[in-house]
Amino acid sequence: MRVLVTGGAGYIGSHAVKVLREGGHEPIVVDNLYRGHRQAVPSEVPFYQVDLADGSALRQILARHQIECVMHFAALAYVGESVTEPLTYYANNTAGAISLLQAMRQAGVRRLVFSSTCATYGEPETVPIVESLPQNPINPYGRSKLFVERILADEAQADAEFAYVALRYFNVAGTASDASLGEDHDPETHLIPSVLFAVLGRREKIVVFGTDYPTPDGTCIRDYIHVEDLCAAHLVAMEALQPGERRIYNLGIGRGYSVREVIESAQRVTRQAVPVEYGPRRPGDPAVLFADASKIQAELGWRPQYRNIDDIVATAWNWFARHPGGYAEV
């Protein structure tokens, strides 16, 4: 299948390109390189440096390559930044998706796999989180994604042939098992790379926010899904999607690891001490968040291959130890 991958030079999008190629599909990448890396896209994969706001360019690319499906990853994803720059997030994440959908409609492309987020749930009253829980995001990032989910539902209502799947991610972690691709954000806010940066000396220490949560060790617990498992779920969802279908799935491993457990894992994997400072809680950090991903397992047979935190951290360490400066060293 010929698949347009928006944001295909980013962390998750680049891994999706790899998984698509390994699955016998033909990816074409669109990325404005605002936070993506051209080095993350193989030279043999068609690449266009195009912004989602450029509907004319998107239409031309969709038609030129006779695209059959779009995997839409292109989005800004810093929660804190979304609070201080909400208009930027709505322009990029929500309006950008509208521009893409308009181009798809004009080009006759009616299949979409959407990168959504567990942030659309906000602070759920129960865990594990199932897809039927109310969506009540508490920040502009989560709202920008929820708006897209509702726009997709409206488009499907208007066009009986339009099909989509929205995949609600939990904490994506790790890198390609062969170290061919990695994670390179600026700034880096994800826990696992931040911990590894402290090991590498790229940051002075890791700050743990809160040690008095109602969890076994007092620190927050989160669901960490390996990026290759995440992208494999996109592949099976895309291949299963039929005209007119609407699917919603959570993507996680169905259990959580605490901040302390992640730090201890990094120390085991790297065999080095992690400099840690303990601080007060951050506002809005729930104690425990993890997914119930049984729906996609039951309906599509997807299962995460990485469930042990050491295995997840090891893939990230394999990348960062070889490329401590990120893609600048590729």
Catalytic positions are 141
E-strand stretches of 18-140:
26-30, 47-48, 69-72, 111-117
Instruction: Output the six-digit token pair for 262.
Output: 């992640």
* Residue 246 bridge partners (DSSP): 164
Neighbours of 263 (CB within 10 A): 20
Give the residue among 163, 56, 69 at the shortest CA–CA distance from 109: 69
Q: Sheet harboring 257-258: ordered strands across?
A: 257-258, 221-222, 288-289
Q: Which residues pair with 225 in a beta bridge?
A: 172
Q: Which of 253, 261, 244 is nearest to 302 (CA)?
A: 253
Cα(136)–Cα(313) distance, rounded to whole angstroms? 31
Residue of 122, 70, 66, 143 lying closest to 100 (CA atoms): 70
Task: 45-54: list long-range contacts, CB under 8 Å, 24+ apart.
Answer: 45/8, 45/17, 45/21, 47/8, 47/9, 51/96, 52/6, 52/92, 52/96, 52/97, 52/99, 52/100, 53/91, 53/95, 53/96, 53/99, 54/99
Please count the CA atoms within 13 angstroms of the CA of 309 that sit on its side-chain side. 22
